[in-house]
Chain A
């Protein structure tokens, strides 16, 4: 009797599986992102709910975004595109778009409208959309300081990063010219909206490097996003530059003793691109429609302090999923934080990046 029952159960289960398999073939999507706390936030806000609703889809995370453009180019040249969706910066996305290795996006046709019906192209914040680029978040590169490193007065500005007299100690900076040169000029008294104009002149570049020279002996360079909070946590440095979400994670979740300095934060978008010759384009577009809607973008802010790229998401940003603290004050775009932002100029870095990187590498060698 029981055996018979088992047999029926088994066969019916098998036939049901066969049915659903016929309806929806299993798909595995390789999603490339930045790793660490950031990928974790995408996993919980996007991947898990999507996979729960679409059991035939498996999402595999690949932490390759730091070299996304190189990877896209190599895969395209080899004719073997294994990435289905890539998280990358808008400057690299524009390059990849010009080279034709990622798909052009019709935002209104491919993305969900806001809950009130506003089309996607009007709902995403001004200037964030690209021909091939779908923004998710606004992030910023910020300065953080370890209170334990100083007696008395605490640093609160970019100028303090260059003030060895009042704030001695090692500084962890990213090993690239971007952000460092902007901050050097800002600390040297250049107005926020003139930084890139000054940096486009040879005198401006000399001025920035001269300012960096004043702290050169105290600099430790970091390469990977996770290194900066680590150096702070180890007490190895007094200041570290880093991405605001990772710093938030280290300070609020891991309990690291450090404070974020929002002065001169350098803000930029980050978002998705779709490789042009991928095998699963339909499945990816279905995923993207879901993962970039108003609620999902707001959900990601439950896990990491990056600002959602849709205007309609902002009112939905709530509390941190695990800590229960309000997330809005930790966003780069919060009014208390956004008092002196530098908006990263991707056109500038596309034009002058190669030259300034050479100069920066030379400066590091001296």
Chain B
């Protein structure tokens, strides 16, 4: 068989080999290359189809996370504001106050900053940055820089007169330490540690430690909430799965209805129910079970957070459980019973193990959502029912220490990933069933 192409040349046909013994296609190209090409085209098409989603995830998910992690170590303030001072500080011994040269360099840096357009000035951000390290640094720097154009040599005296911090080696040690483009101090602060006067890492003063205890509490409360949703959700899911479809659907709506209601509405409803003068306390007092003096405090504390969050997260446990239970044939339990198992044994040895994938999925979902939960603890948490996310939000919104917020956020993210990894090692993610 011979074929002619447009130019009239003969080409090799299928099932023939070239001089090197490779299989050729009908148009004479090596079969292997033609297959690869076809495969490549298919892959490209597939990639093209998922490309919008991929781009979406990269732009709106991966990129902000990377940026957040970058912010937790990024430290441009000192480097950009005080280049001359940092250079002059290189010869400093760190023991006594720096020499006049360093103070003059600081004066020059501050004067140079005033010539920049306002939005490019670096002394303002510097003052904010250094105040994270030592109280009163913001005042020392911004007030000094407002008057710096009146300073005259010797500058050392001028600065030392202007603010007490310039008479202390501490601020110079901090400027030298933070005069690098990357810093570990946000992460140190996030684990309640700091540098001492010898630049050694030590734990912060006992009455300023916050975050380690708060991480611990966040995990403990999340565990309790996960267990509560399991304890409440398992019987519901079991009952749902044993009902005929029509009734199950109706009940399912009852489970889902709160799921569709605004989070704030549900949280406020709990405030109405649980508060000191709320429905539950009023009823108990009205029935004479409680004295008016001894009303239960069920809200603005840990109890309130756990109750409200358990309710809000319940569907995340019920749905995976239900979908798994739905697939377990009732005949298995019947078979176990007919082989002599008591109902309890049949449940424990036959039914329960088959629900494990659902429990695992529900547990992971509820736990991971819990540790990042924010609005409910903020509203009903009071003083001891708050979680780490509330601290992160405070640093984003009011204290404006975004570096510390980023460090705390990164730690939260990494701990979730670690947990997931651990879970995968122990249970295996292939057994997860999200419904």
Interface residues of A (CB under 8 A from B): 66-67, 69-70, 73, 76, 94-95, 98-101, 104, 170, 175-176, 209, 219-221, 223, 234-236, 276-277, 347, 350-355, 357-359, 361-365
Taking CB atoms, residues of chain A closer than 8 Å to B118 are 100, 104, 276
Partner of B382, one of A76, A99, A220: A220
Q: Please determine whether B397 and A70 come into contact, CB atoms closer than 8 angstroms.
A: yes
B207 cross-chain contacts in A, Cβ below 8 A:
209, 359, 362-363
CB distance from B298 to the nearest CB of A (A): 12
Query: B185-221: contact bitstring with A at CB < 8 Å (1 yes, 0 no)?
Result: 0000000000000000000000111100110010000
Besides A99-B124, A362-B209, 17 other CB < 8 A contacts? A69-B400, A94-B142, A95-B124, A95-B128, A99-B125, A100-B120, A100-B121, A221-B382, A221-B383, A235-B276, A277-B119, A351-B135, A351-B138, A354-B399, A355-B135, A363-B207, A365-B217
Contacting residue for B400 out of A73, A98, A223, CB 8 A: A73
| B183 at the binding interface (Cβ < 8 Å) | no
State which of A221, A223, A355, A365 has its C-beta within 8 Å of the C-beta of B213: A365
Residue of A nearest to B143 (CB): A347
Is B92 close to A, CB under 8 A?
no
Residues of A within 8 A of B237 (CB): none
Q: Are B135 and A361 in contact (CB under 8 A)?
A: no
Partner of A354, one of B124, B135, B386: B135
* CA A219 to CA B142, docked complex, whole Å: 37
| Bound form: Cα–Cα A363–B207 in Å | 7
Contact assessment for A354 and B208 in the assembled complex, using a CB-CB cutoff below 8 Å: no
Bound CA–CA A351/B128 (angstroms): 10
* A359 contacts B208, C-beta separation under 8 Å: yes
Q: A-contacting residues of B (Cβ < 8 Å)?
A: 117-121, 123-125, 127-128, 131-132, 135-139, 142, 207-210, 213-214, 217, 275-277, 300, 378, 382-384, 386, 391, 394, 396-401
Q: Contact between A276 and B119 (Cβ–Cβ < 8 Å)? A: yes
Sampled A-B contacts (29; CB under 8 Å): A66-B397, A66-B398, A67-B397, A70-B397, A70-B400, A73-B400, A98-B123, A98-B124, A98-B127, A98-B142, A99-B128, A100-B119, A104-B118, A170-B276, A209-B207, A221-B383, A223-B378, A235-B276, A236-B277, A277-B119, A354-B132, A355-B135, A355-B208, A358-B210, A361-B210, A361-B391, A363-B207, A364-B386, A365-B217
Interface residues of A, dominant DSSP? helix
Judging by beta carbons under 8 Å apart, are B210 and A365 in contact?
Answer: yes
Residues of A within 8 A of B300 (CB): 220-221
A362 near B210: Cβ-Cβ < 8 Å: yes
CB distance from B70 to the nearest CB of A (A): 14
Contact A352/B135 with A70-B397, A365-B213 known, Cβ cut-off 8 Å: yes
CB distance from B245 to the nearest CB of A (A): 45
Q: How far is the CA of A351 from the CA of B139 in the complex (A)?
A: 6
Q: Which residues of A contact B213 (CB under 8 A)?
A: 365
Residue of B nearest to A175 (CB): B383
Assembled-state Cα–Cα distance A221/B383 (Å): 7
B172 to chain A, nearest CB (A): 18
Residues of B within 8 A of A353 (CB): 399
Q: Name the residue of chain A whose CB is nearest to the CB of B116.
A: A100
Give complex CA distance A170, B293 in Å.
Answer: 12
Query: Which of chain B's residues has its CB closest to A131's CB?
Result: B146
* Min CB gap B66→A, angstroms: 17
How far, in angstroms, from A365 to B383 measured CA to CA in the complex?
7
Would you call B384 and A365 a contact (CB within 8 A)?
yes
Given A69-B400, A99-B125, A359-B208, answer yes or no on A352-B136 (Cβ-Cβ < 8 Å).
yes
Chain A residues with CB under 8 A of B123: 98
Contact check, B208 vs A236: say whether CB atoms are below 8 A apart.
no
Closest Cβ–Cβ distance, residue A11 to chain B (whole Å): 49
Indicate whether A351 sits within 8 Å of B378 (C-beta atoms), given known contacts A69-B400, A236-B277, A362-B207.
Answer: no
Chain A residues lying within 8 Å of B124, measured Cβ to Cβ, are: 95, 98-100
Q: Are A234 and B275 in contact (CB under 8 A)?
A: yes
| B398: A residues at CB distance < 8 A | 66-67, 70, 176
